[in-house]
Amino acid sequence: MGEEAPEEYDLDMLGGGEHERVMEWEAGLPGGDELTPLSQPLVPAGLAAAFRIPPEPGRTLLDVHRASAATVFRLRRASSSSSSSFPAFAASKGADEAESGGAGGGGGGAASEGGNGNNNSSSSKRARLVWTPQLHKRFVDVVAHLGMKNAVPKTIMQLMNVEGLTRENVASHLQKYRLYVKRMQGLSNEGPSPSDHTHLDVYKRQMHHHHHAYAAVSSYPHYHYADK
């Protein structure tokens, strides 16, 4: 079976709701089902013809996504060049974060401390990035929406929109994630081992095992101090 290019973008964003969103931005706005579908022109064809309005160019979900990504990218640039410390822009702060597991999320709420602070410009070596479950979820969401075909490091990095996250960080993680996916497909219907791991499950187990200081329940990248 070959590889094909399914131009598929399963956007449950307009109706689903299992995605992380900045709810404050959406407060008071009409829901997706109350809005005119993208495929439907704002001006009826007959009326448009009567007033000699040229037909609107069809706007696909992909177009909207591109525009959105471009906007987000511009904002990201502007905010990062404006000041050295991160402004609040990555996403999800405080009152969101709904895991599919629900109450099982083992989390406590212990924020990580232990000497982590701000990397000042003097040290050129960046600390080691830790892929928290939150970060990983963002990564997986973006990859899923892009499709394996278009999911390349730079694009993923831009759409994740996480301050401080580099293309290299994503590339490295993507390499591992692809191996994981391949393994899963290889054992798609085989279940010889009772330990059926879901990527997120894997991460949850790791978190549970590391009962220690790490928790970092934010969508910012978590760095581990390793100055040289």
What residue ranges bind DNA (CB under 7 A)? 125-126, 128-131, 152-155, 167-169, 171-176, 178, 202, 206
CB of 189 vs DNA, minimal distance in Å: 23
In order, the DSSP letters of 13-79 are GGT---S---HHHHTTPPPGGGSPPTTS-SS-HHHHHHTTPPPPPP--HHHHHHHHHHHHHHHHHHH
- Choice between 91 and 131, CB closer to DNA: 131
On the 0-12 / 13-18 / 19+ scale of CB atoms within 10 A, 164 is middle
- Choice between 32 and 199, CB closer to DNA: 199
CB of 33 vs DNA, minimal distance in Å: 35
- Choice between 1 and 27, CB closer to DNA: 1
- Choice between 21 and 178, CB closer to DNA: 178
Q: Residue 91 corresponds to which tokens in the numbers above?
A: 């996403």
CB of 4 vs DNA, minimal distance in Å: 16
Neighbours of 76 (CB within 10 A): 17
Q: Which residues are within 8 A (CB) of 141 and not within 5 positions of it... i.e. 6 or more apart?
A: 19, 20
Asked whether the beta carbons of 163 and 222 are under 8 A apart, the reply is: no
Q: Which residues are within 8 A (CB) of 62 and not within 5 positions of it... i.e. 6 or more apart?
A: 7, 9
What are the residue ranges of helices labelled H in the chain? 23-26, 45-50, 61-82, 133-146, 153-160, 167-186, 199-209
CB of 130 vs DNA, minimal distance in Å: 4
Name residue 113's amino acid: E
CB of 56 vs DNA, minimal distance in Å: 31
- Choice between 93 and 199, CB closer to DNA: 199
CB of 222 vs DNA, minimal distance in Å: 8
- Choice between 59 and 178, CB closer to DNA: 178
